[in-house]
Chains A and B, each alone.
Chain A
Amino acid sequence: DTAVSQTPKYLVTQMGNDKSIKCEQNLGHDTMYWYKQDSKKFLKIMFSYNNKELIINETVPNRFSPKSPDKAHLNLHINSLELGDSAVYFCASSRTDRGSSYNSPLHFGNGTRLTVT
C-alpha cells in the first residue's frame, strides 16, 4: 500500500493553462505539505496544512492554491501556468502532537513532474 500517493506522475501542459495535482495519504497523519524541487534539485516548502487548516504559506504566487477537503488529502491547483513553474512537486505528510514540539518524520510521495511548454 502506497503511504503518500500523488497523481499524476507526469504533467505536460502549455503556458496559461490551469492544472491540478492530487495528493492522498493513508498514514493517519494530520499535517500535509507541498514542496517544490527545481532544476538544480533544490527542495523548498510551499504550503503546509494541519487538519485542513493552512499553517505555512511560503511566499508562493497566488496562482498556486492548495485545497484540503479532509486531513488525508491536499491538492494543489495552479492557475495560468508559466514556464518557470516547471519543476517536480512533492507532497508529504507527518503527524503533529499539538502542545508539544513532536513531529513524526515526514513521508514523501513520489513526486509529480510538471513541464510547461
Chain B
Amino acid sequence: GIQVEQSPPDLILQEGANSTLRCNFSDSVNNLQWFHQNPWGQLINLFYIPSGTKQNGRLSATTVATERYSLLYISSSQTTDSGVYFCAPRAGGTSYGKLTFGQGTILTVHP
C-alpha cells in the first residue's frame, strides 16, 4: 500500500511565527486531505487538495502530485493552531475513498 511520511514529527513555535509542514507519499494519488486534530481529539478537515494550491485564511496547502508531496503552510500561528496535523492521501486506482494517514506532525504554539 501507499506509504506516507510527514515531517517534522514535532514543531514548537512562538505565536506569530510561520511554518511549513511536509507530506511525502510513495504512490500516485487522486485525493489528499489535510486534517487538524485539536486538543479535544476532533478531526477537522482543512483541505481537500489532490493537486494545486488552495488557501483558507492563514492556512494554505500545495500538492505536487507528480513529485509526490504536499505542503501545509501556517502563517501568523496562534495558540489555537496547536494540535496534530495529518496528511492523508488516497492512492490512485483505489476506490471508495480509503485514506492512508501519515503519522502526523505535533504542533505546539506558545503565547
* B-binding residues in A (CB < 8 A): 31, 33, 35, 40-45, 48, 50, 55-56, 88, 90, 94, 96, 101, 103-108, 110-111, 113
* A-B pairs under 8 A by CB, number: 66
Does B79 count as interface, using CB distance less than 8 angstroms?
Answer: no
3 cross-chain pairs, A with B, having the tightest CB-CB distances, nearest first? A103-B97, A105-B48, A43-B101
A46–B45 Cα gap in the complex (Å)? 20
Size band of the interface chain B makes with A: 20 to 34
Chain A residues whose CB sits within 8 angstroms of the CB of B97 once the complex forms: 31, 33, 48, 94, 96, 103-104, 106
* Shortest CB distance A89–B (Å): 11
Q: Chain A's interface: helix, strand, loop or mixed, by majority?
A: strand
Does B31 count as interface, using CB distance less than 8 angstroms?
Answer: yes
In the complex the two chains form, is B96's CB within 8 Å of A55's CB? Answer: yes
Provided the pairs A50-B96, A103-B31 are in contact, do residues A90 and B84 lie with their beta carbons within 8 angstroms? no
Provided the pairs A42-B101, A101-B30, A105-B33 are in contact, do residues A96 and B96 lie with their beta carbons within 8 angstroms? yes
Q: Which residue of B lies closest to A9 (CB)?
A: B41
